[in-house]
Structure 1
Amino acid sequence: MSPVLRQGWDRFTLYLPIILMGLLALGTWWLVRNAPAPIAAAAPPSNGNQPDYFMKVFSVKSFDATGRMQSEIKGDMGRHFPDTDTLEIDNVRMRSVTPQGIVTLATANRALSNADGSEVQLFGNAVVTREAQPRLEFRGEFLHAFTQAERVRSDQPVVLIRGNDKFTADAMEYDHLDQVLQLRGRVRGVLMPAAPR
Structure 2
Amino acid sequence: MRSRTQRAWDRIAVYLPVLLMGLLALGSWWLVRNAPSVPSDAQEAPRGHEPDYFMQNFSVKNFGADGTLLSEVRGDMGRHYPDTDTLEIDRMRLRSVDAAGRLTHASSERAVSNADGSEVQLFGNARVVRDAATGARAPTQPQLSFEGEYLHVWPQLERVRSNLPVTLTRGKDQFTADGLEYDNLAQVLKMQGNVRGTLSAKNADKKSR
Cα deviation, 1:130-187, whole Å, max 9, x if unaligned, reads 1122110100000000011110000000000010001000000000001111110000
Instruction: Determine the structure 1 residue equivalent to 2:16.
Output: none
2:201 to 174, 193, 196: 193
Instruction: Determine the structure 2 residue equivalent to 1:160.
Output: 168
Q: Which runs of 4+ in 1 moved over 4 A?
A: 26-29, 40-46
Structural mapping, 1:1-197, within 5 Å: 30-33=27-30, 43-44=43-44, 46-132=46-132, 133-194=141-202
The offset of 1:46, in angstroms, is 4.5
Identity within the alignment, %: 57
Higher helix share: 2
How many aligned residue pairs are there? 171
The offset of 1:31, in angstroms, is 3.4
Change (3 A) 1:46 1:31: closer
Cα deviation, 1:84-141, whole Å, max 9, x if unaligned, reads 1100000000000012101110000000000110000000000000112211010000
Q: TM-score, normalised by structure 1?
A: 0.79
**Separation in 1, partners of 2:175, 2:197:** 4
**Separation in 2, partners of 1:31, 1:46:** 32
Give SS of 2:55's match: strand
Cα deviation, 1:48-81, whole Å, max 9, x if unaligned, reads 1111110000111110011100000000000011
**Separation in 1, partners of 2:121, 2:191:** 19
**Separation in 2, partners of 1:150, 1:164:** 21
**Separation in 2, partners of 1:94, 1:183:** 24
**Separation in 1, partners of 2:25, 2:78:** 59
Give SS of 2:201's match: coil
Change (3 A) 1:139 1:34: closer
Change (3 A) 1:156 1:33: same
CA RMSD of aligned residues (A): 2.8
Change (3 A) 1:185 1:101: same
**Separation in 1, partners of 2:60, 2:31:** 60
Cα deviation, 1:9-55, whole Å, max 9, x if unaligned, reads xxxxxxxxxxxxxxxxx9876333467x79x8995564411111100
